[in-house]
């Protein structure tokens, strides 16, 4: 990279830094991989910077490098991923009609005070996101953190827009289910305000 | 559309991803139906508060700053063959000319390892594998590194306890990291391929093969050696002799 390109690259990085950091942090399977992911992504992006078209979204362009760096880093944990996914499906199969009903009640209550519930379950939200399968997690995060359009997400992951839409819907559904479950476990939905540590 | 049908579109509607026709239809329904309006508004708030909880943190911020700095400083450029030549030329220039200060400022292997040791300790890093068994550590690295990792078997008898291992990077070079304790003081051991030495400035400062080199930086000590099996670098706030024993075991003991 010549000096002018480096200055431009640095300038473009600033406004997207927080989103890129948050994205890497929540996409990484393993806390210790985050720095490697960021470094690999930035190194590859700096090398390919000549390919970046001015006027297009630099954030979307950069997050693609973060995505692939994270997928590579996460690959070592793939077995865990598959294992947890199976455990998850089993748990869903075992849900009885009564549990489904209480979930629905919990969901209605979640919608009553979303900020409070999410605020109290901050850690659990992050866990629930991490429990999503890789591609679904990435799609959800690109939307929630990156605020990318479906088209941009599709381009980042080279998948059809329909896939983005479907996966996003599933991710949101699973996150809501997880939130309801956590909230129920902790009995927080019915307790009103205040922070309770169980 | 019925209320149920309308609610099926909540996700793309809130993302402003619907075609104008469907979008208009839903907007009209929401204007007329308080129940759906409430659901859509609650969903929007739920989604927003989840997104707001998925932020960065100081640790990631620091990691980002370091990564940006390293990438922009150009310290992580491959390919390695070319880089070896550059390193040699730069070292030569450093000895004869005014470039010395600039080159000395570059991270060499020793400082890189020392910094990693301190960073990892400060971050209270978790290990990929926690085990006092050298065999388990070796097994962990199989297929993860381009070189075989051999861990000495009898360090434990000398009060040097293996705690665990993880994969890590020094200046983009993949290395094996092993954590030991001596009197519950941590010692970081880095193993790398001799071929990767070219990635580090001042590689020549490592000294001739098979002869351990020691350095002190305040309370921290570093001992390195390169042997036929690769490069070993041990860092810790312990007497130099303990570090020397470890690198010697790695470099010269074969199991
Ligand atoms: Zn309605």
Map out the domains of chain A as residue ranges. 1-76, 78-198
**C-alpha B38 – ligand 1 centre gap (Å):** 9
Q: In sequence order, which residues have a C-beta less than 8 Å from that of residue A66 and are 6 or more positions away?
A: A20, A23, A24, A27, A37, A38, A41
Q: Average of pLDDT values for A155-177?
A: 91
How much distance in Å is there from the Cα of B202 to the middle of ligand 1? 71
Instruction: Pick the range with the lowest mean pLDDT from A6-20, A25-39, A65-79, A86-100.
Output: A86-100
Residue positions counted in chain B: 255
Is the CB of residue B70 less than 8 Å away from at least one CB of chain A? yes
Q: Are B222 and B235 in contact (CB under 8 A)?
A: yes
HEC readout, A128-184: HHHCCCHHHHHHHHHHHCCCCCHHHHHHHHCCCHHHHHHHHHHHHHHHHHHHHHHHH
pLDDT at B48: 94
Q: Confirm or reject contact between B132 and chain A (CB < 8 A).
A: no
Over chain B, what is the mean pLDDT?
Answer: 79
Query: Residue A57's pLDDT band (boundaries 50, 70, 90)?
Result: very high
**B48/B210: higher pLDDT:** B48
A142-146, B77-81, B158-162, range with the lowest pLDDT: B77-81
Structure tokens at A111: 């919608």
> Count of A–B CB contacts within 8 Å?
106
pLDDT at B92 over 70: no
Which pLDDT value is given to residue A60?
A: 96
CB A24 within 8 A of CB A66: yes
B33: CA distance to ligand 1 center in Å? 5
Inspect the interface and report whether the beta carbons of A46 and B71 lie closer than 8 Å. yes
The CATH code belonging to domain A1-76 is 1.10.1740
For chain B, which residues make up each domain, given as ranges?
3-53, 56-253
pLDDT tops 60 at residue A188? no
Tell me what percent of the residues of chain B surpass a pLDDT of 70.
80
User: What is the pLDDT averaged over residues B140-159?
Assistant: 88
A71-80, B172-181, B235-244: lowest mean pLDDT where?
A71-80
Span B54-72, mean pLDDT? 90
Does residue B98 surpass a pLDDT of 50?
no
pLDDT at position A194:
42
Which of A31, A76, A119 has the CB atom closest to B49's CB atom? A119
pLDDT for the residue numbered B38: 93
Q: What is the ipTM of this complex?
A: 0.83
The mean pLDDT of B97-119, rounded to a whole number, is 57
Of B53, B68, B126, the CB nearest to A32: B126
Whether residue B132 is predicted with pLDDT greater than 60 in this model: the reply is yes
CATH class of the B56-253 domain in this structure? alpha beta
* The CATH number of the domain covering residues in A78-198: 1.10.10.10
How far is the centre of ligand 1, averaged over its atoms, from the C-alpha of B95 (Å)?
79
Q: Find chain A residues with C-beta within 8 A of B59's C-beta.
A: 34
Q: Is the pLDDT of residue B105 over 60?
A: no
**Closest of A15, A13, A8 to residue A41, by C-alpha:** A13
Residue A118 has its nearest CB partner, among B53, B68, B172, at B53
Q: Chain B: nearest CA to A32, how far in angstroms?
A: 7
Compute the residue count for chain A: 198
What's the whole-number mean pLDDT along residues B212-223?
80
pLDDT digits (tens, 9 = 90+) for A122-158: 788 998 998 888 889 999 999 999 999 999 999 999 8
pLDDT at B64 over 50: yes
Tokens of B69: 């700095």
The closest CB to that of B12, out of A6, A110, A165, belongs to A165
């Amino acid at each position: 990279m010549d000096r002018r390109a480096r200055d431009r690259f640095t300038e473009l990085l600033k406004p997207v830094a927080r989103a890129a950091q948050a994205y890497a942090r929540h996409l990484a399977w393993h806390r210790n991989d985050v720095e490697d992911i960021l470094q690999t992504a930035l190194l590859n992006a700096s090398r390919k910077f000549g390919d970046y078209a001015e006027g297009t979204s630099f954030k979307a362009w950069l997050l693609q490098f973060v995505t692939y760096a994270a997928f590579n880093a996460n690959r070592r944990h793939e077995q865990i991923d598959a294992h947890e996914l199976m455990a998850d499906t089993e748990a869903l199969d075992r849900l009885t009609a009564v549990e489904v009903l209480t979930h629905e009640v919990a969901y209605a209550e979640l919608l009553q005070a979303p900020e409070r519930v999410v605020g109290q379950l901050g850690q659990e939200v992050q866990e629930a996101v991490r429990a999503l399968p890789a591609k679904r997690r990435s799609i959800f995060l690109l939307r929630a953190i990156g605020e990318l359009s479906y088209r941009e997400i599709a381009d980042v992951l080279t998948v059809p827009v329909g896939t983005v839409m479907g996966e996003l819907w599933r991710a949101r559904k699973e996150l809501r289910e997880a939130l309801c479950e956590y909230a129920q476990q902790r009995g927080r939905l019915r307790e009103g305000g205040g922070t309770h540590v169980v | 559309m019925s209320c149920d049908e309308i609610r099926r579109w909540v996700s793309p509607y809130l993302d402003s991803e619907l075609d104008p026709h469907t979008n208009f239809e839903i907007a009209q329904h929401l204007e007329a139906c308080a129940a759906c309006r409430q659901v859509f508004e609650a969903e929007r708030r739920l989604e927003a508060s989840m997104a707001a909880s998925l932020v960065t943190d100081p640790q990631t911020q620091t990691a980002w700053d370091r990564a940006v700095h390293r990438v922009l400083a150009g310290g992580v450029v491959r390919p390695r063959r070319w880089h070896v030549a550059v390193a040699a030329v730069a070292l030569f220039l450093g000895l004869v000319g005014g470039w010395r200060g600039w080159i000395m400022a570059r991270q060499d292997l020793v400082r890189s390892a020392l910094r990693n040791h301190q960073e990892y300790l400060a971050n209270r890093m978790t290990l990929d594998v926690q085990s006092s068994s050298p065999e388990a550590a070796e097994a962990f690295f199989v297929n993860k590194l381009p070189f075989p990792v051999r861990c000495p078997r009898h360090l434990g008898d000398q009060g040097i306890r293996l705690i665990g291992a993880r994969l890590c990077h020094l200046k983009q070079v993949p290395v094996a990291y092993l954590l030991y304790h001596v009197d519950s003081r941590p010692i970081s051991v880095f193993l790398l391929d001799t071929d990767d030495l070219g990635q580090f400035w001042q590689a020549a400062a490592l000294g001739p093969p098979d002869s351990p080199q020691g350095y002190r930086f305040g309370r921290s000590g570093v001992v390195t050696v390169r042997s036929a099996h690769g490069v070993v670098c041990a860092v810790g706030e312990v007497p130099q002799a303990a570090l020397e024993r470890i690198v010697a075991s790695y470099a010269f003991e074969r199991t």
